[in-house]
Structure 1
Amino acid sequence: MKRVTLLHNPQAGDEDHFKADLIKAIEKEGYQCTYFSIKKDEQWKEHLDDIDFVVVAGGDGTVRRVVKELFQKDNLDNKITMALLPMGTANNLSKTFSINKETSFEDHVNAWKNGKQQRFDMGILKYDDSSNFFLEGAGYGVFPTLIQTMDKIDVSHLENTDEQLQLALEKLYEIIQTEEAHHYTIHADDKMYEGKYLLLEIMNIPSIGPNLMLAPAAQIDDGYLDVVLIPEKEREAFALHIRRIIHQEKTSFDFQTLRAANLKIQSTNRNMHIDDKYVTTSNGLLTIGVREHGFNFLI
């Protein structure tokens, strides 16, 4: 009998998912299941070894919490495997694997027996005297501002996650109008680029934030990161692109993209984000590499 640890975020997303229902669905398929509420119980941190895989019932932030624990313990060589039950707001990681949130969790669990393991790279950052990682993306410009903006908004009056994503896109559109562009010097492998950019994103997966597709060609296991750049001169075109997305109109945008395994970025801009977290650096120097095949997803 395969053993799984179920890590549940009962506050993720816009539905009330019940512990008993999740456990019942998993045990019905023949798995031995140990349950933890990731919000209420820290004991889950001691139950990531000697199991077949971890089930993450939550959103992108819940996945990051699990990986953060492994990262801090320098335990990534363990090559943990995660199965996703998407219950968050954006669920960009689940969307990367075409895991549909609207599918019942019973059907997701049933599909695991025929699933395959997908290797997944991680971005590794060094700044100031700190080391960190990202699963989705990290960068400068409009997205750190969007994260700060959304953190200050009470979304309890919104009825579902679609409304939350719509609000985030509307705020992003407003931010694009006024966001200051900064000068960046980018060393990408053996090449150097510089310019004044409204957005600079280092992408590990295709989409970020409110399901905004920035790097459709991004590969999650190729040992490279996609650097997306939007110069100041493209401010109006980018804003129009976002407005068309808000109104569900047909649209496209030709993002300038670099692909590299190692990056060094220097800027006067001290404000950035790492996945969904806002971060302030002290010296504006950021070094980024790739940890190939940091862990696996069961898809």
Structure 2
Amino acid sequence: MLLHNPSAGMGEHSREELSACLAAEGMSVTYCSTSSDDIGECLAQRADLIIIAGGDGTVCRAVAHLSERRRPFGIIPLGGSNNVATSLGFEHRTILSGDWPGTRTPRPLHVGRIRTSAGDRNFLEGVGFGALPLAIGHKNGSPRTIEEKIQNGRQQLASELSDLEPGEVRMVVDGQTIEGTWLMAEVLTMTHTGPRLPLAPTAGALQARFTVVLLGEARRDEMLEWLKSPEDKPPPVQVLSAREVLFQPTRPTLFRIDDSVEQVHRQGLDLRIDDEPLHVILPSAHKDEVTGHA
């Protein structure tokens, strides 16, 4: 099954191109488009493999509709940041060059689960408050290339971060209460997030763990400097590992949940690792522990 978002990235990859490349690798392809087909109905069809061709939004929506969690999937990253694919070791040519799926065994991939008064829902990349939700909510014009889109996103994040007042949110991390004010607080399952920023040292989804990333006022200037070349060194943040995180805002606060932004009131957010994993076939070059930094 090829699930394709034809408008991902700059929209330069056609159904015919992708299907032909996969057929050349010996795959029998059933095609579904996110722009014209119902994702749930597509993924309900019989298929040995799910190949998701798109960006982070496409991957997150597809994962949310995967009711048969033991059916493995892989990614052809076609979007802007491609945080999920990057975190898991997929590059644009990974599948098309025959590097996947090969004979590799599917790996468990644990997504996050949010418990709220309105019900439960999953997230794949991350949840957080502070500068990143503000930057995500800002439109960055019409970039001509993927690189320009990423650079615009990083500049917008730096702009939001430069004059942001720290927010006060009480957190309970695996039973330990943490109180303070933060410029950013992110609970991540992937190494990369936002405009392709390597904020977490490992892809926690492969280890059934969250990475909690905290940025306080004292390290604002260091973070602004890091954003100029984030691939060169680790970010100036506090890093914790956890399976359960409770956010308790003292007032209505903007949060981002994957690539959507919404206001969370004082009832808070209860985040837990989902014990029933998805299954992903990783590229053969993938190391057992993907790191966010070289």
TM-score, normalised by the number of residues in structure 2: 0.88
1:269–1:284 contact (8 Å) kept in structure 2: no
Would you say 1:231 and 2:221 are equivalent positions?
no
SS in 2 for 1:113: coil
Q: 1:127 to 1:47 in 2, by over 3 A?
A: closer
Unaligned runs of 5+ in 1: none
Structural mapping, 1:50-199, within 5 Å: 50-70=46-66, 75=67, 78-101=69-92, 103=93, 106-108=96-98, 111-150=100-139, 153-155=140-142, 158-199=143-184
From 188, 200, 206, the counterpart of 1:215 = 200
Q: Give distance in 1, aligned partners of 2:62 and 2:24.
A: 25
1:177–1:239 contact (8 Å) kept in structure 2: yes
Q: Give distance in 1, aligned partners of 2:112 and 2:80.
A: 22
1:263: which partner in 2? 245
Q: 1:163 to 1:265 in 2, by over 3 A?
A: same
From 262, 269, 273, the counterpart of 1:290 = 273
Q: Give distance in 2, aligned partners of 1:141 and 1:278.
A: 11
SS in 1 for 2:184: strand
Unaligned runs of 5+ in 2: 283-294
2:222–2:236 contact (8 Å) kept in structure 1: no
2:95–2:101 contact (8 Å) kept in structure 1: no
Q: Which runs of 4+ in 1 moved over 6 A?
A: none
The aligned amino acid for 1:295 is L
Q: 1:283 to 1:190 in 2, by over 3 A?
A: closer
1:269 deviates by: 4.4
From 259, 281, 289, the counterpart of 1:276 = 259
Q: 1:252 to 1:222 in 2, by over 3 A?
A: closer
1:33 deviates by: 1.3
From 15, 19, 25, the counterpart of 1:19 = 15
Q: Give distance in 1, aligned partners of 2:97 and 2:43.
A: 25
Q: Give distance in 2, aligned partners of 1:181 and 1:165.
A: 25
2:4–2:54 contact (8 Å) kept in structure 1: yes
More strand by share: 1
Moved more, 159-168 or 119-128: 119-128
SS in 2 for 1:164: helix
Q: 1:226 to 1:58 in 2, by over 3 A?
A: same
1:44 deviates by: 5.7
Structural mapping, 1:236-251, within 5 Å: 236-245=221-230, 250-251=232-233
1:30 deviates by: 2.7
RMSD: 2.0
1:80 deviates by: 2.8
Deviations 1:72-125 (A, max 9, x none): xxx35x423111111111111111122122x275314x6322343121111101
Q: 1:44 to 1:193 in 2, by over 3 A?
A: closer
* Identity fraction in percent: 24
